[in-house]
Amino acid sequence: MRHISGFGKDPLGRRLLLYALTWMLLLLAAVPFVGPTRQAAAETAGEKSGNAEGYVYVIPIQMEVANGLASFVERAFAEAEKAGASLIVLDIDTPGGSLTSAEDIGKRIRSSKVETVAFVSGKAASAGAYLALNADRLVMAPGSTIGSAMVVNGSGQAVESPKIVSHWTSEMVAAAELNGRRADIAAGMVDPERTVEMKEIGRTKAKGEIISLSAEEARKVGYADATAGSIRELLAEQGLQDRAEVTLHPTILEKVAQVVTQPGITTLLLILGIAGVLIELLVPGFGIPGIVGLAAFGLYFFGQGIAGFAGMESIVFFLVGVVLLVLEMFVPSFGILGLLGAAGLIGGIVTAAYDTGDALRSLGWALLVALVLVAIVAYIFRRKGVWNRFILKESLTAEQGYVPHADARERWIGREGIALSPLRPAGIAEVDGKRIDVVTAGGFVDRGRAVRVTAVDGTRILVEEIS
């Protein structure tokens, strides 16, 4: 009788049940948050502010510019517009981040139905400078800075690709020109090869340098419309000192999404997911690798869903892919199920990501590292692997009551007979009145000669001629 609930008694049944329950729990836990999160956050802010019409909405951008931030900014702008806010203040203090995310946030700022003011309370570096330039007005706090928008890679090294530098330079220039700011200064924040003269502050940017402006310098060259020590001071300058503020913050789920959607974390989750599931399928255990793998995949899709990138179709693709890969291990399909499963898994992961190219690169590295981990674990536990299901381990011995076919032939040893055909070296002989197939050790025996059985070797009966 098969026991599905027992550990080690039926690894396949236990794993399938474990996978089904884990996925059900993950999906049930994620469903209430993927859709209603933004609505719930808006309702909470509305309750705190009462009738929010005419209120000033403050959106802090005090983190690295990444996919999760873009989702938060989108939600915050939508809430402010729905509430009929008088003004949106972007409280900026960021070292920069993803240029792609910055472009998306900049587009949202430009399309805002509510007037926007960028308040640089700390530093607006790189992508942060781009966001500040997209607002209708730019106000800086004393001691704050803006600029240093040179394109760098993940390790902080300058990117020298003319295509990338030219593109980001044009984006910065376009943002500066929105409100009549000098294009050459914006270009000088990005491209170290340009020379920019700033007579207003008695300074010339030489080749090899990039522009970063203090609050006072930015005001003198026309980049900052004003300086203010606080948001309340900024509102007084705007004539909105009597308006109450509604400060929005990322929800807990949005904070989680901001973490798990970072490129490095995404790759790590994919490594854990792929390695965990494969190890659980290949090596029996207590379900821990499978749980870790499924939890990693769950976090991946959860983060992408909260960030607004993954839809239900991505999860469906992925689940179908996993099911097909499992079936491939037990149902002969000549690799068709495996190929379809791999396509479904890749399709689910890629369509859930913000950028398809980045997702494919992350998946490629994750797959490579995961396969190395799986190979190491499989080697260590090679005697317990799923492949042992296809290896016959039990031996059928005479002591257990099994009589090999060769044993039945051993009774011919020592018997004598006549060669019914020439033995060259195989042929037919009659022994004790029965025709049997025989073979000599290599010599030829003519028909009709007397022979004796000398040995039985597997299915062969060896004979020799009787002199």
pLDDT at position 258 over 80: no
Burial class (CB in 10 A: 0-12, 13-18, 19+), 462: middle
Residue 21, pLDDT score? 46
Identical fold, 56-243 and 404-465? no
Residue 46, pLDDT score? 43
Q: Lowest-confidence range among 50-59, 213-222, 260-269?
A: 50-59
Residue 6, pLDDT score? 38
Residue 48, pLDDT score? 40
Residue 141 to residue 389: CA distance in whole angstroms: 70
What mean pLDDT do residues 224-241 have?
90
CATH code for 56-243? 3.90.226.10
CATH code for 404-465? 2.40.50.140
How does residue 378 score in pLDDT terms, banded at 50, 70 and 90? confident
Torsion sign across C-alpha atoms 50, 55, 61, 62: negative
Residues 6+ apart with CB under 8 A from 311: 305, 351, 352
Sequence ranges of the domains in the chain: 11-26+259-389, 56-243, 404-465
What mean pLDDT do residues 143-169 have?
84
What mean pLDDT do residues 245-262 have?
80
How does residue 262 score in pLDDT terms, banded at 50, 70 and 90? confident
β-pair type (460-465, 450-457): antiparallel
Residue 128, pLDDT score? 92
Residue 3, pLDDT score? 36
pLDDT averaged over the chain? 79
Contacts by residues 280-283 (CB-CB < 8 Å, ≥ 24 positions apart): 280/15, 281/15, 281/326, 281/329, 281/386, 282/374, 282/377, 282/378, 282/385, 282/386, 282/387, 283/377, 283/378, 283/381, 283/384, 283/385, 283/386
pLDDT at position 24 over 50: no
How does residue 124 score in pLDDT terms, banded at 50, 70 and 90? very high
